A and B are shown apart, each in its own frame.
Chain A
């Protein structure tokens, strides 16, 4: 049923690469197996609201239950207003750049079923009878509860100006809201966003991306007035205006005007300005959804919010409230997800035999708005008595930084706009109140002018990862007590750095410091023959123009004149090939190749080889299929379709390889490099050419990419795919580089992986035209080839990369390192000098010499390679015993 696009998803496992596809998601909707009463006397917990905080609450409840008791002590019903389970509202805007709604889901497949949760979508609670402990739903159902948890969140505040509910006015809160905005934008030319806060600016970015002339109208004198100060607001405004968004600050919305059909036609602002607009998005803040509580007599705050104590209980001990609908014990309503999560965890603890405690939370934030870094932390506005400010501003570069320093010299808070790299270090410093590691002015200066920073300066109690609340002390313990010796290990062990990722760089610094402090020598070198890393060797080979392994090991090895090994030799072979040093089987290079590269084929378990011709994009003519079939038949080979949309021919002996290639090359095929650390395939779906849903020619692009990057030697194999629409039938997000068509161009994803440690690819850039897409992939690949370690796939390389995706974007899109011209030139040279390794080998008798089973008996086949028949094809026979010598009784190939 999901194959409405007419293509076939390849879910098999690639026998060479071991990479499987992904199964379809389970049905998220649990069946209604628990009614109001299930005949047991288990307690009934009703959760009202299934947003981010509600989902976190459920997870925390079961994490706790798993730890304390085997069987859940209560049954759970969730009443949800929206038509879908909890999703990631923080990244809502990514829906506009092509992230499908299902991917934003926070409810793992099977989660509801596994825990027997009865989720009622689209059936919100409408009334609570606290005396009878009954909740009434919109559909009229009445549920008796023992415990009621309110997680109703908040609603967008729409100022009650004339015309606020006209056709063409929207809010920005749910996926349905976004769908309505997109539909409305289709016929609109000018859009206005009321509200210049975080969400407002995101909405403005979305309108701009949909091609609308976009205005932001903000009542306060600056953008993001809660988070940043005046100077920061100015810097942000300039950056936003550079993107073509028109900003009106200090301006209220007096009225929305409409045409005769009642549709939005304009706006009147309090400063007298009139704007002609077709679409208005209100993003003027949110209000707690506390109506249910008000109606049943629970106390609420003066400005809204269900009053709760530190244990998240309301005035009625059977009712708890968490998240944005609650007025926390410190008298604040929190509109951020992290405090909401903390409340969800406190409530779960409270209900599982512990004591919950939520007395307030840090509201520091760091985010990227329309490509601009914005961060604020601690006492950002300097309200502490006696506070002083240290400022750095560079209007030309759009950078503004302010630190708030207490009278005693401790860091209290700050604002960072345009460059928020130091946030990860400064925020924990401000929150722990520890002395500054350097004079404050050095902490705001750009790195090039001598900024000082260092993880040692942080005290143990400083929270390094705020997403998972991991302190520096816990990271140190992971290194010293649990033996973690790398950032990925520490990430696994502590969860630090696995949330938003903004602390990964700091984490790397701390891990390196701690390892050094404990005297652990980090062996970065390749092997016993080189103390240099692959990336360092790459630079040496490139800069010094070294063309041979002998020269490299003699001049830069730890044992000049040594033999090298199976680690360093193939690495050097790959570097030499990648930097344009001739055919991989020429001269000394021949001696360096791994056996598969040496024979341009893949060795299998019995010593025979498999042959994979390139089938670019998986597109093949009937005649091509026939030729491959004939060759396989004539040489008695086993055939299998691979996961990469090509055909693998198994069971060739060394001496059969050249005649097989001869036939393939004559029919127009070439090497598929299945044997090399090189580009494998670029998979594709059929795309718009045939598919009813495709929006671009995915096959055409896949072929172009595969032909461009074929033969490109890299630190590890490279896989790619192109999907013709967001349905993603080519599974591009599990590839080293994957492309997904959008209505406006192509989205480029990088760093995906299948196999043993699957990783979802990250979006590098959206809506690229073809030329920019290819240039961006060129640079991404060359940057990876230049800096990755041996056998490091793009996924782990990206995990390790200092600065992560932001750094990668800066390098390949903004040329922050000034190396793009080099990268472009290297790729141009690769494309120019590519030659088919099979054809080149066939043309050279010297290279062909090695393709014999026995050097002293050419023409004699290897008698130990035997096959038996299975399912009408051959398969390797049992391994011959060591004493068995060639005899006349050879098993014949199955024909």
Chain B
């Protein structure tokens, strides 16, 4: 299954579409596509875990962990989206590190202060009519 091919909404379904996230067991509907502001994110509870869901200016959707590994606070959904070269990133609102939304990898620092790798879990996301 390729999640990325499903990121873009099907034509004509933009306002009516809904977003689904794969929690490991199956696709879970989380919110309406129209509820997302281009360039920003929202926080979700998926199976008891906090997920940050974003929509970029081209219409694609991304989902990663909401927890910022550098501060330990659950705030990444409140970060701004940006681009580093061709890569779409989210910028942590706490200490401004950039995370690649396709891989979850932090582009500025390799490890978090607790020694763990600074990589976010990437949750497959798609837009359904």
Contact = CB atoms under 8 A, between A and B. Distances in A.
A562 interface: yes
A590 B78 contact: no
Interface in A841-877: 849-850, 853-857, 860, 862, 864-865
A572 to B, nearest CB: 11
B38 A599 contact: no
B82 A853 contact: no
A819 interface: no
A603 interface: yes
A882 B69 contact: yes
Nearest to A568: B82
Contacts of A849: 35
A357 B31 CA distance: 82
A569 B80 contact: yes
A886 interface: yes
Interface string A878-895: 011110011000000000
Contacts of A33: none
Given A559-B83, A565-B82, A855-B44, A607 B91 contact: no
A767 B114 CA distance: 58
B40 A885 contact: no
A565 B30 contact: no
B78 A565 contact: no
Contacts of B50: 854, 862, 864
Contacts of B79: 566, 595
B1 interface: no
B103 interface: no
A857 B84 CA distance: 32
Contacts of A529: 83
B93 interface: yes
Contacts of B43: 853-855, 862
Contacts of B81: 563
Contacts of A590: 37, 40
Q: Counting chain A CB atoms within 10 Å of each CB, which of B39, B67, B80, B81 scores highest?
A: B80
Contact of B35 (A528, A855, A880, A885): A855
A882 B65 CA distance: 10
Given A569-B39, A591-B40, A856-B45, A882 B30 contact: no
Contacts of B78: 595, 598-599, 603
Interface string B44-76: 111011100100111000000101010111110
A789 B39 CA distance: 24
Contacts of A264: none
Contacts of B67: 864, 882
B82 A563 contact: yes
Given A594-B93, A595-B93, A603 B75 contact: yes
Q: Counting chain A CB atoms within 10 Å of each CB, which of B56, B58, B84, B93 scores highest?
A: B93
A594 B80 CA distance: 7
Given A590-B37, A591-B40, A882-B67, A603 B94 contact: yes
A879 B37 CA distance: 29
A337 to B, nearest CB: 48
A561 interface: yes
A129 interface: no
B83 A562 contact: yes
Contacts of A566: 79-80, 82, 91, 96
Contact of B74 (A605, A860, A862): A862
Given A591-B37, A592-B39, A603-B75, A885 B48 contact: yes
Contacts of B71: 605, 607, 879
Contacts of B65: 882
B42 interface: yes
B40 A605 contact: no
B98 to A, nearest CB: 8
A564 interface: yes
Q: Counting chain B CB atoms within 10 Å of each CB, which of A569, A594, A595, A856 scores highest?
A: A856
Contacts of B49: 885
B14 interface: no
A550 interface: yes
A854 B57 CA distance: 22
A606 interface: yes
Contact of A605 (B56, B73, B91): B73
Interface residues of B, number: 42
A552 B85 CA distance: 18
B95 to A, nearest CB: 10
A588 interface: yes
Interface string B85-122: 10011010110100000000000000000001000000
B111 to A, nearest CB: 13
A550 B73 contact: no
A845 to B, nearest CB: 13
Nearest to B48: A885
Contact of A607 (B57, B69, B73): B73
Q: Counting chain B CB atoms within 10 Å of each CB, which of A591, A607, A857, A879 scores highest?
A: A607
B44 A854 contact: yes
A856 B28 CA distance: 11
A531 B117 CA distance: 34
B15 to A, nearest CB: 15
A347 to B, nearest CB: 53
Nearest to A887: B48
Given A565-B91, A566-B96, A607-B75, A598 B57 contact: no
A332 B44 CA distance: 83
Contacts of B72: 879-882
B37 to A, nearest CB: 5
Contacts of A885: 48-49
Contacts of A599: 78
Nearest to A569: B80
Contacts of B84: 528, 565
Contacts of A854: 43-45, 50
Contacts of A588: 38
A210 B129 CA distance: 80
Contacts of A607: 71, 73-75, 94
A881 B81 CA distance: 25
Contacts of A563: 39, 56-57, 81-83, 88
A856 B40 contact: no
A862 B85 CA distance: 34
A880 B72 CA distance: 7
B79 to A, nearest CB: 7
14 contacts: A563-B57, A563-B83, A565-B83, A565-B91, A566-B79, A591-B39, A591-B80, A592-B80, A595-B79, A603-B75, A607-B75, A862-B50, A862-B74, A882-B67
Interface of A: 528-529, 550, 559, 561-566, 569-570, 588, 590-592, 594-595, 598-599, 603, 605-607, 849-850, 853-857, 860, 862, 864-865, 879-882, 885-886
Nearest 10 pairs of A and B residues by beta carbon: A879-B72, A565-B82, A591-B39, A595-B93, A607-B73, A563-B83, A855-B42, A566-B91, A607-B75, A595-B78
Interface of B: 30-31, 35, 37-40, 42-46, 48-50, 53, 56-58, 65, 67, 69, 71-75, 78-85, 88-89, 91, 93-94, 96, 116
Given A603-B75, A853-B43, 19 more contacts: A561-B58, A565-B82, A569-B80, A569-B82, A591-B80, A594-B80, A595-B79, A605-B71, A605-B94, A607-B71, A607-B75, A855-B43, A855-B53, A856-B30, A856-B46, A857-B44, A857-B45, A881-B72, A882-B116
